[in-house]
Amino acid sequence: MKKLRIYKKLVLPGCLALVGMLSSCSMFDDFLTVYPTNQITSEQFWEDKNDLTSVVASCYRQLTTDGVSQRMFVWGELRSDNFLLKSESDEDIKNIMNANLLPTNGWYDWSSYYRGIGLCNLVLSKGPSIIGKDPSFTQSDWKPIAAECKTLRALYYFYLIRAFRDVPFNLKASDTSEGARNPMPQVPEQTTLTYLINDLEGCKDDGMTNYGNDAFNACRITKNAIYSLLADMYLWRAAKNTCPDSAAKYPGMAASDYAKCIDCCDYVIKDKLYQFQKNKKRYYGYGDDSKTPLPMFTPSTMGRIEDNEYGDLFGSKGSLESVFEIAYDGSNNSNNGLVTKFYGGMSGSTFKIGLVGGSALFQDVDGKPDLQSHAYSKTDLRAAESIRYVNNADAASNSFQVVKYIAQGIEVLDGTNVLKKDAGQPDNVNYSNIRTQSNMDANWIVYRVSDLLLMKAEAIACLYPDGDPKLKDAYDLTYAVLDRSNPAILPTDKLKYSSYGSAKSILDFVMRERQREFFGEGKRWFDLVRIAMRDNTTENMLNLLSAKYTTNASAIKAKLATLNSLYSPVYKNEMKINTALVQNPAWVVDETIVKN
Amino acid sequence: MSTMNKIKYLLLLILCCSFTFTYAQKRISGRVWSPQDGPAMMANVLEVDANNRIQASTTTDMNGNFSMVIKNTNDMLKVAYIGYRPWESKIGGTTIFKIQLESNVKRLGPVTKKAYRKVKSNGLSIPEREVSVATQTLDMDEMKGLSFESADQALQGQIAGLDVVANSGNLGSGMSMRLRGVTSISGNQDPLIVVDGHILENYSKTSVDLQDMDNTEQFANLLNVNVEDIKSIEVKKDASACAIWGARGSNGVIEITTRRGVKGKTKISGNYYFTGSWQPSGMKMLNGDGYTMMLKEAYFNPQQSDLTSNIVELSYKRDRTAYYANYNKNTDWVDAVTQLGQSHKYYVTINGGGDQAQFRISGGYDHETGTIIKQSLDRFSTRMTLDYIVSDRITFSSNFALTYTKNNRNYTDILARAYASMPNKSITRWEYDPNTNSYYDTGEYFKMYPAANGPGNVQDGQTSYYLRDQVDRVQWEVDHWVGYGNPVAIANYSWSKVSDYTITPQFQINYKLLGKTADKTMLDYQGEVYMNATSSSSDAYYPAILSSDTWTGNINRSGNSNNRNLAFTTTHYLTFTPKLPKDHTFMIMGRAELNTSTGNSQSLATKNLVGGITDPTVNAYLTGASTSTSKDHSLNFSTSMHYSFKSKYALDFTLRADGSTSFGKDNRWGYFPSISGRWNISDELFFQPLKKYVDLLSFAPGWGVTGNSPSTTSIIYNKYSNNSAYGFNGNYMSAISPDNLRLTTVRWEKTKSWNLGFRLNLLQDLLMFDVNIYGKRTSDLLQRDVAIPTSVGYSKLDYDNVGSLKNNGWELNMSTKDVFKTGKFSMKFRFNASQNHNRISSMDASVLSGINGDFDYKNENYLSRVQIGNALYSIYGFRYKGVYRYGYDHSGYFADETKNALYGSNTAAAAAARGENATCPIARDANGNIIFDADGNPLRMYYNYGSTNYQFAGGDVIYEDINHDGQINELDIVYLGNSNPKFNGGFGVDFKYGNWTLKTSFNIRTGAKVVDRARMHAEDMRSNQNQSRAVNWRWRKNGDITEIPRAMNEQAGTSFNALASDRYVENSDFVRLQYLQLTYNFNPSFVKRWGLGLRNLSFACSANNLFCLTKYKGVDPEHAAYKYSPAFDDSQTPVSRSVTFSVNFSF
């Protein structure tokens, strides 16, 4: 009887325990699965096409961050002969300008680029799984998105390669901590570049041709953008493989790369030309029909010169002449930190200068085009597009400001002397709608038609030997770019093909034209590196750089004597964590300098 | 099914099972009386069943008669009447009872029953002499009459192995506690605080700022438990004691037990405390005149130019009437912002109960004002406990506590500003009256004019450019302020208020399923439900009146943040105690606990509010707004077993399984076992001969594992956030991006530790010793934000396991019973001592290099560094070797003799010949020989040659050139000690004479190094901050022998006289008189004679922190260290000295 009572008493706890044990395994797991309450997790994400495109948007947005965009300038142009330092407020920028490249310099932190690469990798890995989940999303919808992300990834990597040469190469989308701390060694430039080129070759025809509006056609990756990037990469690889060592290793590769570069450029030029012709009415002028038509705007030459091409490309943005540009809207989403920091902009009612200003090459003009003492001739509108010369009493500190991207419209009163500096005269150049620093909505142009023209010219000049009639094409293309910016040139000052006898002289002309055309667009340093790679020495390049280094020149020349010195040091903080990285030998710092 | 529903269902079941029904009814009647007092009026007459559960009850009338319907004739009839022994008898067939009560005044004969005091250990109630784990208990009755803000203050210096350091002397700022060293480098390093079996979570702390949980100005969580409500505090030290807390117990556990009702007549008692507190005197600062002289010199020295001639604030020019009278004072700012703090505490309890129910209700109200002006703390707390004994089997208990705290703080650290402010500046504004050619005090606070944009003479209404750091400018973040402003005005006009409500209801049921007493096999169930509802809000306001910013600038700022949290915990215990043959005891307990918590917080900050409005929700310029919600679950199971044989050998085993939401499925459960044993050697036969002197000698070894998990949840998911949009001209694609890498590899941080405990009681427990030796090894140290190769696409992991740590140490605790008894006099001693040695034994190289930044070659920056083999909190810097007596040109070692002769005998060479101090900045090799250049001139000492290239000069600080390379650079940085105490302890002596008691308690802490940054700022003469009077001994000219370098203002030129060096690293050894208390207890019989119903009355007078013996040069040697960084003295408000008077009475 007593036993039974005990038994009865134990029934309830016993049952509870039993139920508890049975349900425990799955129930406890459910109980301990707590999703964050104020964020979406990957388990709930990646459901449809919208999820996919919003991460694609992040791949683009990463380009607009200061971490990426400012480095496009620092790695691509800061060290070149285009600029002098205007403000010493940024010690690290000052060091780079003085050819004092320290591994501790934060500008060599490449994390923002890999963040962008990681986002592209993520889209590429998750995309195929959406095809099954979202019935409205098919393989043919996926292909252009995949091409878009592959191109963006290649663009990120192409900047890294040009700045650092050998970099870690990661194509894996990481989403867990598994192996995240493993060291990741550098991969030779050739390997990375070849992979990226093949990757883009595989998807170049998947690219979108029309997103339905001018803005997206300019600021998202189109088929033209893929071809442009390919052309640029071919040009780079060809220059790299010109030196005897590489040429022996990869025989014939340089020549075939130049040819492919030309093909890619042709594709874009042809397509742009077609669009220009199609929209002939919409776009009033695109060159002189009497010459070989080229898809470019020309300035109006009725009295005062309205610089249409500038206004279209840099002012109203999303121009037909542009191939790919990084979008900023200055208010809702993003401010162009690159332009604000390095060039300046309006602040209140004053024009604030950024960290850099034009170097001696840009501080005056020559009488005729393509003389080498200065970049521009007196009739070259691009003198006014690049540098703002302030013609007043205390101009010394304010003159030679970079104005590209900041002004939205340029009008020149007297095209025969663009930088007229007569005291007491009103300014010869009118800048309209100067962008403010707090509302810097200038799109950053990565590729535009003139770049394609000049890439093609460069490839031709490198590919064909002296005397080859093909060289004339290179000259013509380059001349066309020069000519459209010199509307008021006197016929006697016009250049003649006969004065450019050799392939070398044409190539030099092309490179000088590139400098004139792309001042302030983050390209000049990479141009100089290509020159040095083709020369297999930095000597000629250093002669060009001499405009910049007026003091301490011999020490700097000694520092930059090797080709390695053209590439940046690997950031020290990164090396501490990624132990597999090897420092660029040109910038290995002796940690124990002993004075005696 | 939601968790809440499950729990409700469970509770319902439990409640149902406690009701059973019986139906037999019968009426009985009777009379209750006593021979002494006649009929017993209003006596309780109860029918109780076999389980002592009341079935029916009534009370007697004026004649002692009663009548009632009973339910079961097998039940017992009980009569209870105050002053009489309870009467009981079986009802049976009797219907009329004649009950005679006996007075309980009658004494019983002596009964001896051997019983040991039982304590709770690992959830089991076991005899104290079988406890095999290391704990120490503080009985709060011993602390009666002392005034503590919170329990941690009471613990200071009392517990061997517990290092308690005040965060600051500001009201409500709390203490930092470290038990047996530090075992964790991420998250909280304080021990776990448990109140009545439930973790006192600090929700306001964790939800406010996850990155900086140890911020000193956080809400002190322990304020939620009124010290008066605490019965005892048990500190659980070793792994075996903490294993039951598993993943939460690795920092040690402090278990607070609150008071409950006691059976007996209802008793009302009250306490009143008055405390007056003041600050110990700090650094002696320069007055206005000395400051002006120093600053002029500091501006002159770097360039030998008269930069200061343009600083009108230092010129005392009578014609500059806007400045003259406002900058000609000798203001003692520290004195102006400090005051006598006062505190009043009122506390009342009602307590009582009978056999069936006991209750205790307490209410307390504190009002305190700080030692810094405008600080105050108000607290209201109440706690109600009720124990209702339904029957011998079933007991219901509840504990309901509510605390409301309101803390009015200063907007910023006022004291640090007071130390930095210009002493020649006036507190109030003086206006020039041209008619009388005199100045009058306007009574308004003086606000410095906006700073000029550049150097040069300034117009009226501007502050000199160089003094711009003295102008009022405060950033929103309290810790990154610039500009010292007028500290008195800031204290008066700006504020920061924090208020916090906490409600913690707790319900508990105990059910004895089998036997009711220990002589039978027992199976006891205990179920608990506990809730913690917290709501806290903080507001801050900084008005334009304090700022010289423009109207569109950053003025009239206001901020508000709120957070709420609700946590629900239910715990179930099942304890089985089988009846075993004599001498054997065995107990096993199983415990399951489930916890859910939800929280939400929001914050809002605005600026440019319309004058007078302080509410940030009105329409103004929004500078920040955020909201967040959180949710967390946890689940754990544990079991503990206890076996003992003859109470001589005892063995304990504990295992806890912790389920956490912070880990992925594979690592979700952490298992924490522990095993410990005890051998009471003194019980052995062979010990008999010594038994006369030795009452107890025991040895208790133990081993166990405790752990730690990441304190943030949802790190195991890839989280996606809105990333604005991409596009332009109205065409946009919205962007979303992932924030983090999902953690799949992170593991539990585990600390394995062993402990050897020895206890020795001598001479009838007159002397009691408790010694513990321990070792702890923490592996898989969790580190927050671990940097990874950025080529992965992310720059960090939220958490990872990165290394290991070691702690070794010993503790001694000694106490005595009353000794030296002579007549009415007796005394008691207490003493405790401990040492802990902490060492980082391994850490991933990439993590190390990620943590250890490069030296930035700037003044005043100490390297934050972790080095394997050294302790956490280590300090690294240069070695300070005095001040160069001579400059380079006064060296006297030049090749050119005429150059040497220029300064006659006032050269280093001449001084060396005389055998005097001949320091001058020339490079010397390892043998002390001068290094000469090719021309035969001595090489000059450089700072960071090749980069900074600073040439040391006469009057500059000498840093030791460790590697003798002729320059001072990062290779000369050495280890300078650490902020862990080497020895920690306390002692006290209590004297008793009749009704008088005198208690003393001292705290000793030695070996901890503190970086005295307050002194650095007050002696380096680099800024415009006011300096300590020590700078009067500064180097002025070649030949001066001094320890204080020349004045070099950083705005006028470069100097490196305040590099991180051991000049500012000080020993913080101290002996502090924790408290001294004198109490007088009135004789109860004496008090009773007053006829006011008083039962007890006592008066006490105590002094806290009356003196502190230390060589430390700052105000107070007590400073806490956090994470990796050592302890810094940033002139936080020091712990105040105070005197308390208290009255304690009961009815």
- Would you say B1024 and B464 are in contact if contact means Cβ atoms under 8 Å apart? no
User: Between A347 and A470, whose confidence is greater?
Assistant: A470
**pLDDT of res. A216:** 92
**What's residue B351's pLDDT?**
87
Distance CA B380, CA B362 (A): 11
Selection from B337, B318, B336, B334 nearest residue B326 by Cα: B318
Nearest CA in chain A to B787: A577
Range name among B75-79, B196-200, B1014-1018, B1122-1126 with the lowest pLDDT average: B1122-1126
Closest CA to B338 of B311, B370, B312: B370
Residue B174 in contact with residue B222, Cβ under 8 Å? yes
B170 close to B149: Cβ distance less than 8 angstroms: no
Residue-wise pLDDT for A233-264, tens only, equals 999 999 999 888 888 888 888 899 999 999 99
Mean pLDDT, rounded, for B191-198: 86
Complex ipTM more than 0.95, yes or no: no
Ranking A208-222, B102-116, B126-140, B980-994 by mean pLDDT, the lowest is B102-116
Of A119-123, A204-208, B390-394, the least confident: B390-394
Report the residue from B3, B627, B850 with minimal CB separation from A576: B850
Q: Tokens 């799109």 belong to which residue?
A: A443
pLDDT of residue A458 exceeding 90, the answer is yes
More confident residue, B515 or A125: A125
Give yes or no for residue B116 having a pLDDT over 70.
no
User: Which chain A residues touch B733 with a CB distance below 8 Å?
Assistant: 53-54, 56-57, 60, 216
What's the CA gap between A167 and A170, in Å, rounded? 9
Determine the angle formed by the axes of helices A253-278 and A449-463, rounding to 10 degrees. Answer: 150
pLDDT band, very low/low/confident/very high, at A18 (cuts 50, 70, 90): low
The HSE-up count of residue A516 (CA atoms within 13 Å, CB side) is 34
Residue B763, pLDDT > 70, answer yes
How confident is the model at residue A16, as a pLDDT?
Answer: 62
In percent, the amount of chain A with pLDDT more than 90 equals 37
The mean pLDDT value for B1092-1111 works out to 83
Pairing mode, strands B967-968 and B942-943: parallel
Residues B1046 and B567: their CA atoms lie apart, in Å, by: 59
Q: What is the mean pLDDT of residues A542-557?
A: 79
Residue B479 predicted with pLDDT over 50: no
Q: Which residues of B touch A153 (CB under 8 A)?
A: none
Q: Do B793 and A115 touch (CB under 8 A)?
A: yes
* Predicted confidence (pLDDT) at residue B333 exceeds the cutoff of 50: yes
Q: For an interface test with B, which of A25, A29, A32, A335 has the most B Cβ atoms less than 10 Å from its Cβ?
A: A32
In angstroms, what separates the C-alpha of A114 from chain B's closest C-alpha? 5
Task: Residue B605: count other Cβ atoms within 10 Å of its Cβ.
Answer: 19
Q: How far apart are CA B817 and CA B812, in angstroms?
A: 17
- A221, HSE (Cβ side, Cα atoms, 13 Å): 30
pLDDT at residue A393 above 60? no
- Residue B916 CA to residue B932 CA, distance in Å, equals 22
Band of the pLDDT at A21, cuts 50, 70, 90?
low
Question: The sheet that has B44-48: what strands, in order across it?
Answer: B54-59, B44-48, B76-80, B87-90
B525 touches chain A (CB under 8 A): yes
User: Three-state SS across B803-854?
Assistant: EEEEEEEEEEEEEECCEEEECCEEEEEEEEEEEEEEEEEEECHHHHHHHCCC
Q: What proportion of chain B, given as a percentage, has pLDDT over 70?
A: 93
B1084 against B919, higher pLDDT? B919
Stronger pLDDT, A344 or A71, i.e. the higher one: A71
Residue of chain A nearest B632, judged by CA positions: A34
Task: Tell me the torsion sign for CA atoms B870, B872, B878, B879.
Answer: negative
For B13, the closest of A12, A41, A118 (CB atoms) is A12
Distance from the B905 Cα atom to the nearest Cα atom in chain A, whole angstroms: 30
Is the CB of B2 inside 8 Å of chain A's CB atoms?
no
**Tokens coding B784:** 């927050």
What are the chain B neighbours of A440 within 8 Å (beta carbons)?
none
The C-alpha of B842 sits at a distance from chain A's nearest C-alpha, in angstroms, of 16
What is the 8-class DSSP label of residue B1136?
P
Q: What tens digit of pLDDT does each residue of B1032-1048 get?
A: 899 988 888 899 999 88
- Give the span between the Cα atoms of B581 and A259, in whole angstroms: 99
Contact B786 A181 (CB under 8 A): yes
C-beta atoms of B797 and A572 within 8 A:
no
Q: Are B1118 and B165 in contact (CB under 8 A)?
A: yes
The pLDDT of residue B105: 58
Among A104, A577, A591, most B C-beta atoms within 10 A, so best to mutate, is: A577
List, in sequence order, every residue forming a beta bridge with A192; answer none if it has no partner. Answer: none
pLDDT, mean of residues B1063-1079: 88
List chain B residues with CB under 8 Å of A61.
723-726, 735, 737
With a CB cutoff of 8 Å and minimum separation 6, the contacts of B16 are none
**What is the distance, to the nearest Å, from the Cα of residue A521 to the centroid of all Cα atoms in its chain?**
8
For all residues of chain B together, what is the average pLDDT?
83
Give CA–CA dist B11/B786, Å, rounded: 44
Judge contact between A509 and A531, C-beta under 8 A.
no
Question: Is the Cβ pair A175, B742 closer than 8 Å?
Answer: yes
pLDDT tens digits, one per residue of B765-797:
788 899 999 999 988 888 888 889 999 999 888
| A328: nearest CA partner in chain B | B728
B-chain residues within 8 Å CB-CB of A6? Answer: 514
Say which residues have a Cβ less than 8 Å from residue B45's Cβ, sequence separation at least 6.
Answer: B30, B32, B57, B58, B59, B60, B66, B68, B77, B78, B79
Q: In the A/B pair of chains, how many CB contacts fall below 8 A? A: 254
Chain A neighbours among B 703-762 (CB < 8 Å)?
713-714, 717-721, 723-739, 741-746
Indicate left, alpha or beta for A199 from its phi (over 0: left) and psi (-120 to 50: alpha).
alpha
DSSP B1003: E
Give residue A144's pLDDT.
93
In chain B, the residue whose alpha carbon lies closest to the alpha carbon of A33 is B661
Are residues A180 and B788, on separate chains, in Cβ contact within 8 Å? yes
User: Does residue B316 register a pLDDT over 60?
Assistant: yes
Q: What is the mean pLDDT of residues A90-114?
A: 89
CB contact under 8 A, B574 and A32: no
Position A20 pLDDT exceeds 70: no
Q: How far apart are CA B273 and CA B893, in angstroms?
A: 71
**Per-residue pLDDT for B174 more than 90?**
no
pLDDT for A424 equals 52
pLDDT in tens, B34-87: 777 777 777 788 888 877 777 777 888 877 888 888 888 888 888 877 777 778
pLDDT tier for residue A290 given thresholds of 50, 70 and 90: very low
Structure tokens at B534: 């917290």
- Please give the residue that has the higher pLDDT: either B927 or B84: B927
Q: What is the pLDDT of residue A397?
A: 52
Cα A437 from Cα B11, distance rounded (Å): 65
Q: What is the mean pLDDT of residues B858-866?
A: 83
CA distance B515 to B522: 5
CA gap B579, B585 in Å, rounded? 8
Length of chain B, in residues: 1147
Q: What is the pLDDT of residue A390?
A: 67
The beta-carbon neighbor of B628 closest among A38, A184, A578 is A38
Length of chain A in terms of residues written: 596
- The residue among B216, B426, B788, B208 whose CA lies nearest residue A182 is B788
The pairing of strands B44-48 and A444-448 is: unpaired
In chain A, residues with a C-beta closer than 8 Å to the C-beta of B849 are 576-577
Cα–Cα distance list, B243 to B238, B593, B676 (Å): 8, 15, 11
> Chain B, 933-972: which have a CB under 8 Å from a chain A CB?
939, 942, 945-946, 965-967, 971
pLDDT digits (tens, 9 = 90+) for A56-68: 999 999 999 999 9
**Which chain B residue lies closest to A596 (C-alpha atoms)?**
B965
Cβ atoms of B32 and B43 closer than 8 Å: yes
Q: Which residues pair with A319 in a beta bridge?
A: none
As a whole number, mean pLDDT of residues A52-56 equals 93
> Minimal Cα–Cα distance from A327 to chain B, Å?
5
Question: Would you give the end-to-end CA distance of chain A in angstroms?
Answer: 101
Residue B396: the pLDDT is: 92
Instruction: Choose between B462 and A152: higher pLDDT.
Output: A152
**pLDDT band with cut points at 50, 70 and 90 for residue B16:** very low
List all residues 6 or more positions away from A2 whose beta carbon is below 8 Å from its beta carbon.
Answer: none
Q: Could you give the CA distance from residue B971 to residue B973 in angstroms, rounded to a whole number?
A: 6
Is the pLDDT at B552 greater than 60? The verdict is yes
pLDDT in the model for residue A525: 93
Q: Report pLDDT for B508.
A: 92
C-alpha distance from residue B270 to each of B345, B349, B1142 (Å): 10, 6, 10
Q: Who wins on pLDDT, B54 or A586?
A: A586
* Per-window interface: B 626-685 vs A, CB < 8 A: 627-635, 659-661, 665, 668
Residue A285: pLDDT over 60: no
Q: Does the beta-carbon distance from B939 to A595 stay under 8 Å? A: yes
Q: What is the mean pLDDT of residues A443-468?
A: 92
Q: Residue B440 corresponds to which tokens in the numbers above?
A: 């009058």
pLDDT of residue B478: 37
Distance from the Cα of B745 to chain A's closest Cα (Å) equals 6
Residue B461 has pLDDT above 60, yes or no: yes
According to the model, what pLDDT value does residue A301 have? 66
Task: Spell out which residues of chain A touch residue B945, defining contact as CB-CB under 8 Å.
Answer: 593, 595
Average predicted confidence (pLDDT) for chain A: 85
